[in-house]
Structure 1
Amino acid sequence: MGHPDAESLGLITTSMYIAGFVSALPSQQVMDRYGRRMSIIIGMSLLIVGVAIQTAAKNKGMFIAGRVIIGSALSFSTTVAPIIAQEYAHPRMRGTVATTYNTVYYVGAIAISWVGFGTSHMKTSSWSWRVPALFQLVPAAYIIAALPFLPESPRWLIANGREEEALHLLAKYHANGDRTDELVLFEFREMKEVLAREGREAVSWKTALSTKGNRKRFLMITCVSVFSNWNGQAIVSYYLASVLNLVGITGSTAQTGINGGLQVVNWATSILGASLAESAGRRKIWLSSWGVMLVANVILTSVTAVYSKTPSTGVAGAVIFAIFLYDVGYSLACTPLLYAYETEIMPFHIRGKGMAYSVTIGQGQAIIFQYCNPIGLAKLGWKYYLVFLVFLIIQIIVIYFFFIETSGRTLEEVAALFDGEDATHQIELAGAQHSSEDKPEDDQDDKDGADKVALDSSARVHVASI
């Protein structure tokens, strides 16, 4: 592939995001109409084709064609994966599954970083980049092998009239096959009741945005997506080589080694953020993350500016420290909470649309940044970081005043924040009705106490079960 200039590098990188931008909304139609599994099947099939073309590329055009197909594959996968993870999860594990889901990204990032480190020694062979490209087949093969054992979402089954299958899956995975388990029966009724209230038919975008509560939800998704992109970490992550070049670290072995270490630190930090998200709360994690990135940005800008005038090994080391600190800040919140936060505020009937919207605007921003970032770094150098310093300050203010806390909240409380007290009252009545129906008449002496327990259980599992 040679040594592409800034414009060519931006085009090669951006090509994948252009395809992702176009494919996100169609992926929502597939998952809602044909099921969650079908969206994964299409995504993995496209990925295999894209990897084959990219690996066999003879020129820049063929390489870009492979990345375009891979971009479409990632949109199908990224839109459905966080949804299906939460819809499968046992109620008691929903929060943990939601926040740890995206941390697994770094398993692949670490693997490919060190594969790249190894192939960087193949300086005269095109396999130095073909092997990392081919390595993308490993996770695809794993997912395809697991597909026969992956059930459909119980919520999707109920929404499409396949209630018996849904009950069977809930019993199998949430109660070791016991179809009479109280939690399973409660989940099953709860899903049916909510889906009946929301409606099982496909919802248009006009209808999805017709209520004040849903407009708030989409605004929150917009903020999360924009803030996760416009914080400066993308420069460090996707253009690490260009950043290191600014401070004299130009060797491919040194750069890939730093990248490999960076991914290990990122994974550890994302797991820390996921483990604290429930106990500390979402808002504290968001604010802590942005605070660390703000400090890292100041350090990175300062030491890079100093190096541009008086190069030294000590200053270069400070730049590396700032790069690691920047990624630590990003990984603390954006990795565990990005998809968890967006998914948990969306009700079932617009969940697919919510994630498709998130992926679409995320890819749209990536198109702009991945094309502009290498040019900005080449033209402005360290001064380019100042743009994101301003963005970080604005984002911290918005997070502090407008981001809501979702950890530890029941669906009743979340509904009140988005849809008002009327929605809360309806859900509480539904829970009370289910509680009374669950108890046989000869248990009247214990009925009042049992109803209270059932209602308390309802509060705890509402968010997970819906």
Structure 2
Amino acid sequence: MAHLSLSWANVAIVLSLCLGSISYGYDFSIISTTVGQPTWYAYMGLTTDPTQASLYSYSNSIIGTIFGLFSAGAIFGGLFVGWFSDAHGRKKSLLSAAVINIVGGALQAGSVHVGMFIVARFITGFAAAMLVALVPVYIAEVAPPAIRGLLVGQHGAFFLVGYTVAAWVAVGSFYSANASFNWRFPLSLQALWPLLLCFFVYWLPESPRWLVSKGRPDEAWKILAKLHYDPKDPEQLFAREEFFQITSQCAADKASYGDVSLLHLFTKPHLRKRTLVATLVMWASPANGAIVIYSNIVVLVAGLGFDSADSLLLSAGWITLACVGNFANAFYLDKLGRVRSMVIGYVGCIVFVIIEAAIVAEYGGTTNKAALSAGVAMLFGFITFYGGFVDTTIYVYCSEIFPTHVRAKGMGWSIAVFFLGNLPFLESSTTGYATIGWKYYLLFIILPALNVGLLIYFCPETKGLSLEEINGIFEDKVAVRLTNLTEEERRDLDSRILDGVVGKDPQAQAPERNNVEKSAEVTLDE
């Protein structure tokens, strides 16, 4: 690109969209603290007392179902949003997800029995997946290439803000004398963040890449010109270059692929390669055990000998560290690179899980405070590496490897894989810890070790490249290259852009661009 361009418009859009990230993080995290509230167990007729064998077994089954149904809803939400976002645009999809999220949160807070609560978790999971897929896609489509990792990484950082807020709200609610307030108030706040998102969505622009893909380049240019306006660049070459690249690549993609359905992610060779890479990246996260620990952190800490109040405090501190780690991950991701970051993170996690398993095996159920405290410390070490190197990276990577005309579908599939991968672990985690104890941790040592090798072998690096140029590393055509041009090549390109390739008024070229796209469609039909 001509130069790095980061405007206040970019920042404002990212921060507004991150309300969706907070919504997802809060939705997902609040259940881990809800199951740490004794008053919730009492109201729902459940127990944490293993001496009540029959009821205890039933309770573990219900909690596993609650965790699992959120993930099941998210699988459907991820697949749905891929189609809906491409058909109706990013803005309408965000608004729809926010409304569904409000309904799900309200139903949870007002639940009168456990069946209603389970259904509400499914609805909330559906909406949460829509948001967790949409936000990184939208940010990726408006972010300058050189800092795309930083900006898209705010999605991962802010959904950890949602985790953190949920944890500390639960801590505060725990000390209320009102038994109903203990768990209903934290759940009710699930509606707050999507309500705020509904307000901000109104002024957000539509994704310029989506507009170009729908044959509306004049509207796309107006948005790009505002997003990348720079008073030091009177010709606005940065915006013009990007517009030229986007419109050229869109025409090339339509000529190559035409209309693409979800099925084409698996039947077209170059899309299939991307889909398999995204599947690997998203599977590696639940196979690492992070979400199981996220969801069960209160129970895990309690199992190491801490009472309910201390468990909630320690889990809130753990989530807060994860939040700090995710912001750090976003900050250096563009320098460190996507694949290297994931490999470092997973290797660090494996080390800490090995030590954690050894401590639980030797000292679990004892009163050795020093050893049990060390067990908690290992959980903190785990999240330092996962939050600091992985949690943000996976969303950045999967949001950028798919071409524009199929990006929402590809990201939707990725999110569905993420929650599908979580489903067996979340369903089995409560029972697994209760029945085989420390041996359950072996899953999160063996599987990540295998995945590290696969990530190194199969995943290409994407840092620094524009979304259109990433096509090249998957052996697709790149219509216009802007990264790593020589000064002479840059001057020649800018001269052609200003002399008529795009024109001094890119809006005037919209009919020409439409004709290019129509020609591509005619060729495909023939």
Q: Is the 8 A contact 1:290 1:392 kept in 2?
A: yes
Superposed counterparts of 1:106-125, under 5 Å: 106-122=160-176, 125=179
Greater shift after overlay, 348-357 or 2-11? Answer: 2-11
Question: After TM superposition, what 4+ stretches of structure 1 lie above 4 angstroms from structure 2?
Answer: 176-180, 409-413, 428-436
The alignment status of 1:272 with 2:328, answered yes or no, reads yes
> Which of 478, 496, 499 is residue 437 of structure 1 equivalent to?
496
1:297 paired residue number: 353
1:403 paired residue number: 459
2:199 paired residue number: 145
Q: How much does 1:50 deviate?
A: 1.0
Greater shift after overlay, 394-403 or 105-114? Answer: 394-403
Which whole-Å deviations, capped at 9, do the CAs of 1:14-39 have from their partners, x for residues lacking one?
Answer: 11111111222221111101100111
1:450 paired residue number: none
Q: Is the 8 A contact 2:75 2:416 kept in 1?
A: yes
The alignment status of 1:194 with 2:194, answered yes or no, reads no
2:364 paired residue number: 308
Change (3 A) 1:286 1:254: same
The 2-side partners of 1:238 and 1:417 are apart by 36
The 2-side partners of 1:305 and 1:211 are apart by 48
2:9 paired residue number: none
The 2-side partners of 1:134 and 1:273 are apart by 30
> Which of 219, 231, 235 is residue 292 of structure 2 equivalent to?
235
The letter of the residue matching 2:362 is V
Q: Is the 8 A contact 1:179 1:185 kept in 2?
A: no
Which whole-Å deviations, capped at 9, do the CAs of 1:304-341 have from their partners, x for residues lacking one?
Answer: 11113743110111011011011112112222211101
Superposed counterparts of 1:88-167, under 5 Å: 88-122=142-176, 125-167=179-221
Change (3 A) 1:17 1:309: closer
2:309 paired residue number: 253
Q: How much does 1:134 deviate?
A: 0.8
The alignment status of 1:19 with 2:78, answered yes or no, reads no
* Gapped regions of structure 1 (runs ≥ 5): 442-466
Which whole-Å deviations, capped at 9, do the CAs of 1:21-67 have from their partners, x for residues lacking one?
Answer: 12222211111011001111110001111111111111101111211
1:49 paired residue number: 103
Q: Taking structure 1 as the reference length, what is the TM-score of the superposition?
A: 0.88
> Which of 234, 237, 247 is residue 182 of structure 1 equivalent to?
237
The 2-side partners of 1:440 and 1:50 are apart by 54
Greater shift after overlay, 266-275 or 223-232? Answer: 266-275
The 1-side partners of 2:219 and 2:498 are apart by 25
The 1-side partners of 2:77 and 2:292 are apart by 25
Partner SS state of residue 288, structure 2: coil
The 1-side partners of 2:446 and 2:137 are apart by 33
> Which of 251, 254, 273 is residue 216 of structure 1 equivalent to?
273
* Gapped regions of structure 2 (runs ≥ 5): 1-39, 48-58, 501-526
Q: How much does 1:188 deviate?
A: 1.5
Change (3 A) 1:309 1:189: closer
1:378 paired residue number: 434
Q: How much does 1:238 deviate?
A: 0.7
Change (3 A) 1:205 1:54: closer
The 1-side partners of 2:354 and 2:186 are apart by 34
Q: How much does 1:184 deviate?
A: 1.6
Q: Is the 8 A contact 1:212 1:419 kept in 2?
A: no
The alignment status of 1:337 with 2:396, answered yes or no, reads no
Q: Is the 8 A contact 2:322 2:383 kept in 1?
A: yes
Greater shift after overlay, 356-365 or 371-380? Answer: 356-365
Q: How much does 1:151 deviate?
A: 0.9
Taking only the aligned residue pairs, the percentage that are identical comes to: 26
Greater shift after overlay, 12-21 or 85-94? Answer: 85-94
Q: How much does 1:176 deviate?
A: 5.8
In the alignment of these two chains, the number of paired residues is 437
The 2-side partners of 1:129 and 1:180 are apart by 57
> Which of 164, 173, 183 is residue 227 of structure 2 equivalent to?
173
The 2-side partners of 1:333 and 1:241 are apart by 23
Q: Is the 8 A contact 1:229 1:365 kept in 2?
A: yes
> Which of 73, 77, 91 is residue 127 of structure 2 equivalent to?
73
Greater shift after overlay, 234-243 or 260-269? Answer: 234-243
Partner SS state of residue 126, structure 1: helix
Q: Is the 8 A contact 2:168 2:316 kept in 1?
A: yes
